[in-house]
Structure 1
């Protein structure tokens, strides 16, 4: 009987402890919601982390919980960015954000697919291999290390850049351990053979899937035809031949050339002071060789005449991409282009292209336009899918709508609606530390002014109809666009319908 009573007592104490813990976390969440504060305290007041009986922070408040708290915390687009260069030439951008007990570090290298050279896919494969082995840790040890700390590490690779990101609690007992292995991931990858074979097979499977997707085939053909032999034509996923040729030596050579301090931007935001931020950047700087920054990509010339390519694919829908060479990041016309594109095809149901092609004629379920400014001139394109026998009609409407917009610009009502949409959504884009970290990486990589976030709303508000008209006439040339279609030809679609057409 005494043993039974003792067991019941232990169970009760455990249950009571769990209830107390849950109540503490609930109080913290409620305390930090906007409007839930003491008199005289600001909405961005200190976050109270519950403690256990030993005085240590409760580890159950993991990153997922913090993300929920972060969403409930109001942030201003007026972000104070500090910047400096390390001794080896890396650029650092830092924002102190004491409201949330977390740290985001985003390391950006000019090491995207544009640097593939004769081995398409080597940039993406190098970046993906960073977390497969680093220092003395293998892939499983890396995963367990960050998971045990409640931290998250990720890698990303694009045409312009390659990224390594860390999100961790800012408490030194978690932060320092997470950063220690993070430095190794960035600077000392081991590129193990078993991981290389696995990731290469994964990328080869992705190439096979592309052959079964008319949209993927159209996009690949669009970049190849638009950029010719320029770096942006390199397919990020590589080719069957190039993937087979990529070995450990190729990965090491690419990392040695491009993952260097002088080719790096370090974005830091979190509940740490400037001294700690400098220490983080200094450790990255010390572990990497100075190297040389990647050379400029060079100017991309726009098409001088219209061009088109049809890709046969046995589908009832035809995928269409129409576009040309757009603008670089930092182009003075970016704000006018951004507002104009919101009106043309980037604003969802309210856009002109959607109104004409989808709502008025019912030729497509979705149609949109997009500009992708990059280090060199990125693409402008319109994307839609339509029934194969309606392809010519859809293309004609696309051409007339685009030409009319370029020649005449928007209406007053369209301009007002577009500004309202862009300015209304902008605060959400800077509502969390991770969002701001992305902007810091972009600002540093493309050498944008530190006041970019603060001045964005005013710059959008100043855009006029004439600004949009002039910008589009300079950049978009309706008589010299590239048209890619993937699907069945009209005649094939007509035959497949038989005698009775719908």
Structure 2
């Protein structure tokens, strides 16, 4: 769900320009700030390049480190931290993805409350104490989640697909970790990961709310000053393109077959980002109105839901088509999905579908900055992925200018339907996938 919130950045934008102010703290943290008025609230998001791509073979270390921020500091235990935030009406949260580890605060911007909540927040982020009892509890919870995922055909398919597409790349493993790696992680590992990656030069600070720029600078400086300066993390390597097709079936006693079909995708700075984005919206990203849904769901009745998407991350992500279908229809469904993709690549898009796709994207643009939280997400993504500050202002213009030929060329250059990864999870039937 959290990944979806970040992904929404790619499908929306705004008509009204945001006045994004930016600077660097003396310690080297990048800051992006938007002042909003009307509600006495301030949202802060700290985005560290400290997620699963930076944990080596200790899968789950980044997620565990992030989850234990807020459990204890050098001066307070977990209960005291929780009570301190609650007494001020402040909300503290954190989570770790494959690219970034995020720690956030929502607080009233009234000076007396802001000062106290910011002091607690700064203490939690800059002076954590990784206690064994909290690590033991977190491990137990994660292991329960891993066991639950092993009983989910959708999760099993996703894990197998990522391994096949990403190979030896850090994106190949799940951010949550595995039973074996989680069991071996120690408090020493947490401290080392924190000391290396939770540093000022590896931090993007996003602030949105009813405070002045002067106050925002004071807040950002207080946070970054409490951290070690450190070094910016090295970028993840580029994901290598697939050399061959892979057909993977995992036998599982489910009522339906879960299908994932795709291959390596693009990163956020790829020159074909916009035509690929618009093309995917038309092909399989726009729900029931998409071409893929029309073929699989409406014409053939093979699945209730089918969609496609590009996952753009720091390194090039993946392109995926996903659906569930009756076991006896799995063979037919996958063939039609691949055929539909081939037809999309090799034939011009209907002019009306092209225009409808543009209108749909542009029409939903303004809704995504209706709250501080949504603006905060934009700032975090723009800062972390080094997108231009006018990314939002120019988005609709770039979508408007895309032609059918642009989309066809972009898909043809990226997608090779002879080298697709096809993962199916469900009860095996004769000649499945042949």
TM-score (norm 2): 0.94
Give the structure 2 partner of residue 210 of structure 1.
Answer: 149
User: Which of these residues, 161, 184, 192, is aligned with residue 245 of structure 1?
Assistant: 184
1:104 maps to 2:59: no
Give the aligned CA root-mean-square deviation in angstroms: 1.3
Cα deviation for residue 330 of structure 1 reads 2.1
The answer (yes or no) to whether the contact 1:391–1:490 under 8 Å persists in 2 is no
Provide the rounded CA distance (Å) in 1 between the counterparts of 2:414 and 2:24: 34
Give the structure 1 partner of residue 241 of structure 2.
Answer: 302
Provide the rounded CA distance (Å) in 2 between the counterparts of 1:266 and 1:77: 23
Between 1:124-133 and 1:139-148, the stretch displaced more is 139-148
What per-residue deviation string (whole Å, max 9, x for no partner) do you get for residues 297-355 of structure 1?
12112112211211110112010111111110122222111111111111011001111
User: Which of these residues, 407, 411, 417, is aligned with residue 356 of structure 2?
Assistant: 417
Structure showing greater radius of gyration is 1
Give the structure 2 partner of residue 318 of structure 1.
Answer: 257
SS at match of 1:283: helix
Q: What are the equivalent positions in structure 2 for 1:442-481 lying under 5 Å apart?
A: 442-481=381-420
The runs of 5 or more residues in structure 2 that have no matched partner are 1-13
Provide the rounded CA distance (Å) in 2 between the counterparts of 1:254 and 1:308: 37
Cα deviation for residue 289 of structure 1 reads 0.6
SS at match of 2:92: strand
Provide the rounded CA distance (Å) in 1 between the counterparts of 2:431 and 2:235: 46
- Structure 1's 409 and 247: CA in aligned 2 closer, same or farther, altered over 3 A? farther
1:260 maps to 2:199: yes
Provide the rounded CA distance (Å) in 2 between the counterparts of 1:107 and 1:77: 25
Between 1:326-335 and 1:314-323, the stretch displaced more is 326-335
Provide the rounded CA distance (Å) in 2 between the counterparts of 1:380 and 1:254: 31
Provide the rounded CA distance (Å) in 1 between the counterparts of 2:431 and 2:226: 60
User: Which of these residues, 365, 375, 381, is aligned with residue 304 of structure 2?
Assistant: 365
SS at match of 1:140: helix
What per-residue deviation string (whole Å, max 9, x for no partner) do you get for residues 361-390 of structure 1?
111110000101000001110000011111
User: Which of these residues, 155, 161, 171, is aligned with residue 232 of structure 1?
Assistant: 171
The runs of 5 or more residues in structure 1 that have no matched partner are 1-74, 494-502
Give the structure 2 partner of residue 191 of structure 1.
Answer: 130
Q: Between the two structures, name the one with larger relative contact order (CA 8 Å, sep ≥ 6).
A: 2
Cα deviation for residue 409 of structure 1 reads 4.0
The answer (yes or no) to whether the contact 1:153–1:167 under 8 Å persists in 2 is yes
The answer (yes or no) to whether the contact 1:326–1:373 under 8 Å persists in 2 is yes
Give the structure 2 partner of residue 131 of structure 1.
Answer: 70
What per-residue deviation string (whole Å, max 9, x for no partner) do you get for residues 439-497 of structure 1?
1000000000001111112121122111111111122221111111110111399xxxx
TM-score (norm 1): 0.82
The answer (yes or no) to whether the contact 2:159–2:173 under 8 Å persists in 1 is no
Provide the rounded CA distance (Å) in 1 between the counterparts of 2:83 and 2:409: 55
- Structure 1's 409 and 378: CA in aligned 2 closer, same or farther, altered over 3 A? farther
What per-residue deviation string (whole Å, max 9, x for no partner) do you get for residues 277-300 of structure 1?
111111112111111111111211
The answer (yes or no) to whether the contact 1:261–1:285 under 8 Å persists in 2 is yes
Cα deviation for residue 86 of structure 1 reads 1.4
Provide the rounded CA distance (Å) in 2 between the counterparts of 1:273 and 1:374: 32
SS at match of 2:124: helix
Cα deviation for residue 141 of structure 1 reads 1.4
The answer (yes or no) to whether the contact 1:77–1:430 under 8 Å persists in 2 is no
User: Which of these residues, 408, 417, 439, is aligned with residue 347 of structure 2?
Assistant: 408
The answer (yes or no) to whether the contact 1:340–1:410 under 8 Å persists in 2 is no
1:428 maps to 2:364: no
Give the structure 2 partner of residue 439 of structure 1.
Answer: 378
Give the structure 2 partner of residue 86 of structure 1.
Answer: 25
The answer (yes or no) to whether the contact 1:113–1:159 under 8 Å persists in 2 is yes
- Structure 1's 76 and 105: CA in aligned 2 closer, same or farther, altered over 3 A? farther
1:278 maps to 2:217: yes
User: Which of these residues, 372, 392, 397, is aligned with residue 331 of structure 2?
Assistant: 392
The answer (yes or no) to whether the contact 1:129–1:195 under 8 Å persists in 2 is yes
What per-residue deviation string (whole Å, max 9, x for no partner) do you get for residues 125-180 of structure 1?
11111011123121111111111111111101100001001111111111111110
Instruction: List structure 1 runs of 4+ shifted beyond 2 angstroms.
Output: none
- Structure 1's 400 and 76: CA in aligned 2 closer, same or farther, altered over 3 A? closer
Provide the rounded CA distance (Å) in 2 between the counterparts of 1:308 and 1:359: 26
The number of residue pairs the alignment matches comes to 419
Give the structure 2 partner of residue 487 of structure 1.
Answer: 426
Provide the rounded CA distance (Å) in 2 between the counterparts of 1:218 and 1:188: 39
